[in-house]
Amino acid sequence: MLPGDKSISHRYALLAGFAEGVSRLSNFSTGADPHSSLACMSAMGAKVATVGKTIEVTGTGGRLRQPNGDLDCGNSGSTMRMLAGLVAAQQGSFRFVGDASLSLRPMERIRNPLQQMGARIELTNGHAPMMVHGGALTGIGFEAPIASAQVKTAVLFAGLQAQGITSLVERVRTRDHSEHALKAFGARLNRKDARLSIAGGQKLTAIDATVPGDMSSAAFFLCAALLFEDSNLVLDALGMNPTRAAMLDVISAMGGTIKVLDVQETHGEMAGTIQVNRGRALLGIDIAGERAAQLIDELPVIAAIAPYTQGGVRIRDAKELRVKESDRIALVVKNLRAMGAEVTELEDGMDIPGGQRLHGAVIDSGLDHRIAMAFSVAALRAEGDTAIRGAEAAGISFPEFFTWLDDLAIR
């Protein structure tokens, strides 16, 4: 079973720490990022314990205390952005810090809506360290200027505690884990077309939940399976949320055959067992528009296997990749070229011709977990050995990754 979905684990950690009662979370992500969310909630009064393979979180009943020190988010933009929405309505001042990578990531995108609601937020040249001065909030109508589930979540978490109704319009629908998580903990939300609304003054109650396997982690093995004819991969208890299913559509379009062997729903989240086989051809694909937003975490590994395809891969409308844990467009291009590939870099994507052969090289991960893992997959078909600098970054989301890759790879 894959480690628990990172996105869901974050949201369960934050809401469990905020809710009334004891939540029990099984298959919680083993990655470092969601544990930053747990640590921040612990610093504000929640009690976190590991009981066997279950994380138990005793919530604060909606009253977060001002921490004694900084809220250290590590490498986790999800923690920093979403938690800012949760503390914005609390009494006190909350200083958020992160590592060098997180301190370069844009935070203005959450300051704008939260300040419209009445919070006061101080940034450092648009970045962390970030100070959130909490207080009474008023609901707003907000149209998200970028496709960001983290911004949406920050607004919803603040709206949960604001006076009146908070509504948000998404131009491009993003992953809906926050909506499902809020409902699981007892909140009421309404969606009409592209508008999502939440009433303030609602209380949350603890849950027992099992986190489905992480689709973004599965993407590396799905792409690895595409590299080899007659491959056969079975993944159990995989999260199959429709807003994350674009990756399965891509696998099918590139020549994979997917069979859904089982599917169940818990707390609004779908999980199931899938079998993936590849036929004779690995096909290219074009990714742009809404699909690029839906695949933003998976694009590096799709790009990493692009030279092996027939027809190549073209990616557009993915400028958000430049402000992730690294400039992922620049690093993908740099590393593909190091392995001998021809690739054209664009401001919002890249063109990678197919029918190419790659050779082993020294890969610069930029200490970015998804770059390290993506080029481990590309190296499976390369001629010669590949060394990945900063491979330990995989621990941010998937500490077991290299063990799994060793067990599953067919050379």
Q: What is the pLDDT of residues 229-256, one digit of tens each?
A: 888 999 999 999 999 989 999 999 999 9
Determine phi and psi for 98, rounding to 5 degrees: -155, 180
pLDDT recorded at residue 172? 86
Residue 395 is given by DSSP the state: G
Residue in the structure block whose two tokens are 């006190």: 92
- In this structure, what token pair is assigned to residue 108? 């203005």
Q: Which of 292, 281, 342 is nearest to 316 (CA)?
A: 292
- Fold classification of 6-210 is UDP-n-acetylglucosamine1-carboxyvinyl-transferase; Chain (3.65.10)
pLDDT tier for residue 171 given thresholds of 50, 70 and 90: confident
pLDDT cut 70: percent of the chain above it? 99
pLDDT tier for residue 61 given thresholds of 50, 70 and 90: very high
The CATH homologous superfamily of the domain defined by 215-408: Enolpyruvate transferase domain (3.65.10.10)
pLDDT surpasses 50 at 411: no
- What rounded mean pLDDT belongs to the chain? 96
CB proximity list for 325: less than 8 A, separation 6 or greater: 75, 77, 101, 102, 105, 366, 367, 368, 369, 370, 396
Element (H, E) at 233: strand 232-239
Residue 357 is given by DSSP the state: -
Q: Which of 33, 297, 364, 368 is catalytic?
A: 297
Domain with CATH 3.65.10.10 in the chain: 6-210, 215-408
Determine phi and psi for 235, rounding to 5 degrees: -120, 125
Question: Any catalytic annotation for residue 297?
Answer: yes
Residue count of the chain, please give it: 411
Q: For 341-345, what is the mean pLDDT? A: 98
pLDDT recorded at residue 410? 52
Q: pTM here?
A: 0.94
d(CA 146, CA 106): 12
Q: What is the pLDDT of residues 191-232, one digit of tens each?
A: 998 899 999 999 999 999 999 999 999 999 999 999 998 889
Q: What is the pLDDT of residues 90-111, one digit of tens each?
A: 999 999 999 999 999 999 999 9
pLDDT recorded at residue 230? 84
Cis before 106? omega within 30: no
Q: How far is CA 184 from CA 66, 154, 200, 202, 263, in A?
A: 26, 17, 17, 13, 19
Cβ–Cβ under 8 Å, residues 238 and 283:
no
- In this structure, what token pair is assigned to residue 33? 């990022």
Indicate the residue type of 209. Answer: A
pLDDT tier for residue 47 given thresholds of 50, 70 and 90: very high
- In this structure, what token pair is assigned to residue 93? 């001042």
d(CA 255, CA 200): 47
Q: For 137-143, what is the mean pLDDT? A: 97
Cα radius of gyration (the chain) = 21
Spell out the alpha helix ranges (H) of 67-198: 77-87, 108-117, 149-159, 177-184
Q: What is the pLDDT of residues 265-286, one digit of tens each?
A: 999 999 999 999 987 899 999 9
